[in-house]
Amino acid sequence: MKLNKSSKIYIAGHLGMVGSACWRVLEKLGYSNLIGRTSKELDLRNQSQVHDFIRDSKPDVIIDAAAKVGGIVANKDYPYQFLMENMQIQNNLISAAHELSIAKFIFLGSSCIYPKLAAQPLKEEYLLTDSLEPTNEWYAIAKISGVKLCEAIRRQFGKDFVSLMPTNLYGSNDNFNLQTSHVLPAMMRKFHEAKESNHSDVTLWGSGSPMREFLHVDDLANAVVFALENVLPDYLYNVGTGTDVTIKELAETIQSQVGHKGRINWDSSKPDGTPRKLMDSSKMMQLGWRPTYNLKTGIANTYSWFLENQAHLKEVKFEVK
């Protein structure tokens, strides 16, 4: 199927961080027929509702950016919801797309699908070669089953169903709640609030030595557009920058972009987590996709968004519906 600017594109999870970035980037490129539903309007856990919605709205392509996401604590406390709801959401979307002959499906997962002790940088071929990180295996197993389902449909029916696995993302519409957010938005908020209170000290967890990779969410959205506009030859692609930084370097970059002049204290009594997590995204890059932001420009862009949207920042708390 050749996509054109009036092709109907359904973005599941269109108000989330990833879904809203896909919407923004597609709109900017002139795609004029985008559709989305909130979870209140359409609960993706409900198979018949999902089937009816896809049948009636007849999208040309589906981007699955809907998921029950959360940190280690939420994964530990709600293993059933992480496994079941994510399988329900993706199974309902994938089966409706298959049964109703939707030409293209893009499934989004995350780097947690790869084994805990896999060699770095993580290559797609490491999938299912060893045990997962136990703290988020519920989420990871759901995501692996989504990847495999798309691969099975591709293999058995020759359909253009493809999975993209992004590295750590940041950018507009991120979660800045200090209890539930990821490291980058949490640091940005801490530095901003410390700047506002007379450049007071900022205390950060761990030693600052672990290495992590960060991708601006608009660059992921560009990768999604790349996968929409091209037929990718394989079923699974990592999406990252290919470079990582220490948490200390990350903190200093955010501090300088925010303009905080106080001290940083490292609380080394707190855990560091895994020493390094870097994805090998060369397979996607060889096809022609490239990230456009470096860490500095991406953080500057995100901080501008943070300042403009402080009054209505997303405050994600994990809730069981």
Residues serving a catalytic function are 139
Query: Exposed, middle or buried, 248 (CB in 10 Å: 0-12/13-18/19+)?
Result: middle
DSSP single-letter state for residue 298: H
- Determine the interface stretch with ligand NAP among 41-49, 52-60, 273-281, 285-293 (rule: CB under 6 A): 41-49
To 10 degrees, what angle do helices 295-308 and 183-196 make?
A: 60
Of residues 129, 139, 57, the one with CA closest to residue 90:
139
Q: In which element (H, E) is residue 122 found?
A: none
Side chain identity at 309, as an amino acid letter?
N
Residue 108 makes contact with ligand NAP by CB under 6 A = yes
Residue 241 makes contact with ligand NAP by CB under 6 A = no
Residue 145 makes contact with ligand NAP by CB under 6 A = no
Q: Which of 168, 177, 207, 256 binds ligand NAP (CB under 6 A)?
A: 168
Q: Which residues contact 174 (CB under 8 A, 6 or more apart)?
A: 17, 181, 182, 184, 185, 217, 302, 314
Query: Tokens in use for 287?
Result: 């096809």
Q: Which residue lies nearer to ligand NAP by CB, 63 or 153?
A: 63
CB of 104 to ligand NAP, least distance (A): 17
115 and 137 in contact (C-beta within 8 Å)? no
What is the per-residue binding string for ligand NAP in 56-95, x denoting contact by CB under 6 A?
Answer: ---------xxxxx-------------------x------
- Determine the interface stretch with ligand NAP among 22-30, 42-50, 127-135, 297-305 (rule: CB under 6 A): 42-50
Residue 19 makes contact with ligand NAP by CB under 6 A = yes
Q: Which residue lies nearer to ligand NAP by CB, 89 or 258?
A: 89
Q: Which residue lies nearer to ligand NAP by CB, 108 or 251?
A: 108
CA distance 69 to 287: 29
Place of tokens 């994805």: 279
168 and 184 in contact (C-beta within 8 Å)? yes
Residue 11 makes contact with ligand NAP by CB under 6 A = no
| Footprint (CB under 6 A) of ligand NAP, residues 172-211 | 182
- Contact residues toward ligand NAP (CB under 6 A) are 13, 15-19, 38-39, 43-45, 65-69, 89, 108-110, 166, 168-169, 182
